[in-house]
Amino acid sequence: GDSVTQMEGPVTLSEEAFLTINCTYTATGYPSLFWYVQYPGEGLQLLLKATKADDKGSNKGFEATYRKETTSFHLEKGSVQVSDSAVYFCALKDYGQNFVFGPGTRLSVLP
């Protein structure tokens, strides 16, 4: 079945550092790919998504590009802030199937 693998962390960075969280997937079809963010004590919120190969999703300074050739959807941000501290989930959804979530990556940004 479909699956998502991501670095589990925790990832600890200093403010203004560059962030990369790796995500790779396996899927039988041509899924849409998502990054969700979970702030402490809250539910998941959609951060960005991409629906086809070579699409780039972006939001709040975060970016991820749908790479079909490497089956990856890595999350990047050029300069993280303390307020970016959260758990980040990579996810995919194949047509007619349910969402599949990765295990989540906890990010801590220190001032």
Partner 1 sequence: NAGVTQTPKFQVLKTGQSMTLQCAQDMNHNSMYWYRQDPGMGLRLIYYSASEGTTDKGEVPNGYNVSRLNKREFSLRLESAAPSQTSVYFCAAEWGGGETQYFGPGTRLLVL
Binding part of the chain for partner 1, among 20-28, 44-52, 56-64, 73-81 by CB under 8 A, reads: 44-52
Helix (H, G, I), strand (E, B) or coil at 78: coil
* 51 contacts partner 1 (rule: CB under 8 A): yes
For partner 1, the closer CB: 40 or 111: 40
Among 34, 35, 62, 66, binds partner 1 (CB under 8 A): 34
Is 102 strand, coil or helix? coil
Instruction: For tokens 């300074």, name the residue.
Output: 61
Burial of 41 (0-12, 13-18, 19+ CB in 10 A): exposed
By CB under 8 A, name the one of 21, 23, 88, 93 that touches partner 1. Answer: 93
